[in-house]
């Protein structure tokens, strides 16, 4: 079995009747969403908020009931999402799929945040994967210069020959830092820069980590 499928499907076991959940974005949580679609057809009652337009489309196709955040909304019971890197102390780099802003909002509004990855995502320290940072289009070059002062050479993410636009109408800068030894400090430094909407470091947010292996088994932390 595919290791992403193994991790993604395992996470669906944590979803129970009546839950309000956040649905992440990417090829690992895809398997969670497909499984949830099957469970909904078999009678599971849930309501979900997607973290991207891509996930919204998939959830609608699968018949998963959706809702939008509203002012009196209590915390979500659970959010399940993938990651691009997971450190040994279970901090994450996310945003490879460009959905990091909504992903971080829903993760922080959830009582439980489950991260699903295949084993290749596990590293000792974060930073090998270029850190995605979502920035306002206006003055993005200036924002990029300020981010570079923190020790990287940001590149503007492109798609089909044009700048990649996030679901929130922003640009993305991919920031190769090599090693991020203090992700908590880095996240504060990045988010202090005017023009930064959010960065892809998820520090101390994961409650349950599910790592899929090539033989279809999973490790749960």
| Residue list for the binding site for substrate | 25-28, 81-84, 94-97, 121
Contact at 8 Å (CB) between 220 and 114?
A: no
Contact at 8 Å (CB) between 102 and 92?
A: no
Contact at 8 Å (CB) between 213 and 2?
A: no
Q: Which residue, 142 or 159, is less far from ligand 5RP as judged by CB? A: 159
Q: Kindly state whether residue 76 participates in binding ligand 5RP, applying the rule CB under 6 A.
A: no
Contact at 8 Å (CB) between 97 and 132?
A: no
| From candidates 22, 95, 130, 154, binder to ligand 5RP by CB under 6 A | 95
**Cα–Cα distance measured from residue 63 to residue 204, given in angstroms and rounded to the nearest whole number:** 32
Q: Which residue, 41 or 155, is less far from ligand 5RP as judged by CB? A: 155
Q: Kindly state whether residue 174 participates in binding ligand 5RP, applying the rule CB under 6 A.
A: no
What contacts 80, CB < 8 A, 6 or more positions away? 11, 12, 14, 15, 21, 22, 23, 24, 29, 32, 114, 116
Q: Which residue, 144 or 166, is less far from ligand 5RP as judged by CB? A: 166
Q: Which residue, 45 or 120, is less far from ligand 5RP as judged by CB? A: 120
Query: How big is the site for ligand 5RP, counted in residues (CB under 6 A)?
Result: 17
In the annotated binding site, the residues are 25-28, 81-84, 94-97, 121
Binding segment toward ligand 5RP, per CB under 6 A, in 79-87, 156-164, 170-178, 185-193: 79-87
**Cα–Cα distance measured from residue 197 to residue 190, given in angstroms and rounded to the nearest whole number:** 9
Tell me which residues are annotated as active site.
Answer: 103
Q: Kindly state whether residue 195 participates in binding ligand 5RP, applying the rule CB under 6 A.
A: no
**Cα–Cα distance measured from residue 86 to residue 73, given in angstroms and rounded to the nearest whole number:** 30
Q: Kindly state whether residue 26 participates in binding ligand 5RP, applying the rule CB under 6 A.
A: yes
Q: Which parts of this chain interact with ligand 5RP (CB under 6 A)?
A: 24-28, 81-84, 94-100, 103
């Amino acid at each position: 079995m595919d290791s992403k499928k193994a991790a993604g499907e395992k996470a669906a076991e944590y979803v129970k009747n009546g839950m309000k959940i956040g649905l992440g974005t990417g090829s690992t949580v895809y398997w969670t969403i497909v499984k949830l679609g099957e469970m909904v057809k078999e009678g599971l009652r849930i309501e979900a908020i997607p973290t991207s337009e891509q996930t919204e489309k998939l959830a609608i196709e699968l018949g998963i009931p959706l809702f939008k955040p509203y002012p009196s909304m209590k915390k979500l019971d659970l959010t399940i999402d993938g990651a691009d890197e997971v450190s040994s102390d279970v901090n994450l780099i996310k945003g490879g799929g460009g959905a990091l802003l909504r992903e971080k909002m829903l993760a922080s509004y959830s009582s439980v945040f489950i991260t699903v990855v295949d084993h290749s995502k596990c590293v000792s320290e974060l930073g090998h994967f270029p850190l995605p940072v979502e920035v306002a289009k206006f003055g993005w070059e200036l924002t990029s210069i300020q981010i570079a002062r923190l020790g990287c050479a940001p590149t503007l993410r492109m798609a089909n020959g044009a700048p990649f636009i996030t679901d929130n109408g922003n640009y993305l800068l991919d920031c190769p830092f090599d090693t991020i030894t203090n992700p908590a400090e880095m996240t504060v430094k990045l988010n202090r820069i005017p023009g930064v909407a959010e960065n892809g470091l998820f520090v101390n947010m994961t409650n349950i980590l599910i790592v899929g292996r090539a033989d279809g088994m999973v490790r749960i932390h």
